[in-house]
Amino acid sequence: MAERLVKVLTRRATVGQINMWGTLHLNTQGGRLAGWLCDSWTEAGASAADVLLPRLSWLSKEDDKFHIVKLDIPVAGPAFIHIGPVDGKMEPRRESFLRVTLALWEEEYLTKEGVSCSG
């Protein structure tokens, strides 16, 4: 049976010419954080060397890796997130930007919800 996820947080950020949005998802069966669905890209006008084309990714809380994602959004009925293999072609600066930003947002969410994580 596929995991049932619920979105608990949505954020958007722009730093320089890099933009992103992310949604944090909770696994409803286990009550644990499942991961982040996120997209990132650069604004028009970025130099050719700095361009990041839009890329949808899943940062799994299970393995702490970015995975390739395909969305299935039907006209009627529930949407599905198909999580594929680890994304081995992600640019290092994209990954760094995503990791730093998502970690900040997650810490803010956990603090706001009064959740304590010790590790």
- What is the pLDDT, as a whole number, of residue 115? 62
**Per-chain mean pLDDT for the chain:** 90
Residue 97 has pLDDT above 90, yes or no: yes
Helix (H) or strand (E) holding 5: strand 5-15
User: Average pLDDT of 63-80?
Assistant: 92
In whole angstroms, give the CA distance from residue 20 to residue 14.
7
pTM to 2 decimal places: 0.87
